[in-house]
Amino acid sequence: MNPVQTASRIPLDDYAAVIGAGELEELRALAKPLQGRSVEMVNSTAVGGGVAEILNRFVPLAEELGLRIRWDVMTGGEDFFAVTKSFHNALHGEPYHPDPRDFDVFRAYTDLNLRRLSLDSEFVVIHDPQPAGLIAARKNSSAHWIWRCHIDLSHPDRAVWDFLEPFVSKYDGAIFSSPEFARQLSIPQYLFHPAIDPLSEKNRELPPEFIADVLPRYQIDPLRPILTQISRFDRLKDPVGVIRAYRIVKRYLDCQLVLAGGSASDDPEGAEVLKEVQHAAAGDPDIKVLELPAWAPLEVNALQRASTIVIQKSLREGFGLTVSEALWKKKPVVASAVGGIPTQVIHKHTGLLAHSVEGTAYQVRFLLSHPEIAARLGERGHAHVKENFLITQKLKRYLTLFLMLAGNSGG
């Protein structure tokens, strides 16, 4: 079984310019006792999805720090992924009608992968529910097994959770993205915030001329205030609510609104929401509804950097990393106080929180009228992301976890 070959290799030293030499030296100091120790990351896909994107960048950095790290992907047929997709939705609290055959499919593919994968590393990190059953490989070994859950488990479907819980409880610990997403478990639970890569195409610095080239492509006027929400066309992101808030702002102040998201062509619900958004925006040339191909990272980056204010008016949210992306670019953010957003937007410190369309409009008007406060929030937001939500922090958390599991805990 060949591990996944990572596509992206940005040398660790390149991050010194972003985080500082002291922080980099600290990573090396933390990694020193772990030199040559083996780590295995396992998830269910090598391409697409947030976990694969993170591992693609994380694995080479960990390798450069001297860990013997490999990334394996579990295989499964369409039937397996149909079952795990329904599990995923059920764990998020959506209705699910248990079929005992679903559990048989899950067990069968778990057994198949137990025969395929080596799973003999000192530290094994299993990502999400699909490969959770691989804990059976642990048997009596002294290896440390961690379950990294990237989804919200606060209101899971009972039947699916009752099936998964016996697997999860055999791990040495579980990692969640927010305390709200965790459950009462018999094993320790840790908090790892998701993170952005400051050197990725979506977040790296861009030449001003590139940004200036992107705006005319979408008939965006660089000389007037630009309000932007970057998110897929999903009702939970409330794009129509953003248009309503913009219309209130527009009564007082001239501005444009950009709603940009990935293509909705392969997502029936997304296509429906896109139509609703286009309908709500009809007749106003200052509202730009943009369907970007495969998220076009450089264009998203340029749109965020060109924005006067970035909005994230979600009704429900996981962590909402688009907020960190905007803060990283020193943008003032107005966002809903849901999910992981208040962790990123500390009200009146790193951005402004709102709880309604009217509240969103009010905060946007306030910031448009007080550019010096907006700039200060943007500066602090950048510092907050630098300190807490960069991939180098994620690396530090994993090193700390491995050190603790290996018995290097100091307190």
Partner 1 sequence: MQLNGTRFEFFTVAYLTRIGNLSAGTLAELLAGLEQCSDASIFHHTFQTLSSHHFLTEGFSNDFAQWVLADANRDALAEQLAALDIRDYPSIAALREDLCRVVRAFCEEHPEFARQSALERFYFCESVEVNVPFGFAAANLDEFRDGISRLSHASFFFHFISSRLRLHLRTNDFSHWLANGLGLMPLADNINRIDIYTNTLDSARAKLLRLLDRERRKHEPGADR
Which one among 14, 25, 205, 358 touches partner 1, defined by CB under 8 A? Answer: 25
Which one among 100, 283, 293, 410 touches partner 1, defined by CB under 8 A? Answer: 410
- 259 phi and psi angles, rounded to 5 deg: -115, 110
401 binds partner 1 (CB under 8 A): yes
CB nearer partner 1, residue 67 or residue 249 = 67
E strands within 285-354?
287-292, 309-312, 333-336, 352-354
CB nearer partner 1, residue 217 or residue 349 = 349
Which residues from 243-272 bind partner 1, rule CB under 8 A? none
CB nearer partner 1, residue 144 or residue 202 = 144
Which one among 30, 168, 303, 352 touches partner 1, defined by CB under 8 A? Answer: 30
74 binds partner 1 (CB under 8 A): no
Which one among 182, 211, 243, 245 touches partner 1, defined by CB under 8 A? Answer: 182
Return d(Cα 347, Cα 278) in angstroms, integer. Answer: 31
CB nearer partner 1, residue 7 or residue 383 = 383
Closest CB 142 distance from partner 1, rounded Å:
19
Distance of alpha carbon 169 from the chain centroid: 25
370 binds partner 1 (CB under 8 A): no
Return d(Cα 371, Cα 375) in angstroms, integer. Answer: 6
355 binds partner 1 (CB under 8 A): yes
Is-contact 283 304, C-beta < 8 A?
A: no
Which one among 7, 21, 47, 82 touches partner 1, defined by CB under 8 A? Answer: 21
- Residue 38 token pair: 């083996």
CB nearer partner 1, residue 219 or residue 408 = 408
- Residue 400 token pair: 């700390």
- Residue 331 token pair: 């943008």
22 binds partner 1 (CB under 8 A): yes
Which residues from 307-346 bind partner 1, rule CB under 8 A? 337, 342, 346
Q: Which letter, b or e, does each residue of 98-107 get, where b requires 16 or more Cβ atoms within 10 Å of its Cβ? A: eeeebbebbe
Q: Which helix (DSSP H) or strand (DSSP E) does residue 226 occupy?
A: strand 226-230
Q: How many CB atoms are located within 10 Å of the residue 219 CB?
A: 10
- 365 phi and psi angles, rounded to 5 deg: -60, -45
Return d(Cα 282, Cα 268) in angstroms, integer. Answer: 21
241 binds partner 1 (CB under 8 A): no
Return d(Cα 17, Cα 205) in angstroms, integer. Answer: 12
Closest CB 346 distance from partner 1, rounded Å:
7
CB nearer partner 1, residue 116 or residue 347 = 347
CB nearer partner 1, residue 89 or residue 154 = 154
**In angstroms, what is the C-alpha Rg of the chain?**
22
CB nearer partner 1, residue 20 or residue 371 = 20
| Site of interaction with partner 1 (CB under 8 A) | 20-23, 25-26, 29-30, 32-33, 176, 179-180, 182, 184, 188-192, 337, 342, 346-350, 353, 355, 380, 383-384, 387-388, 396-397, 399-401, 403-404, 408-411
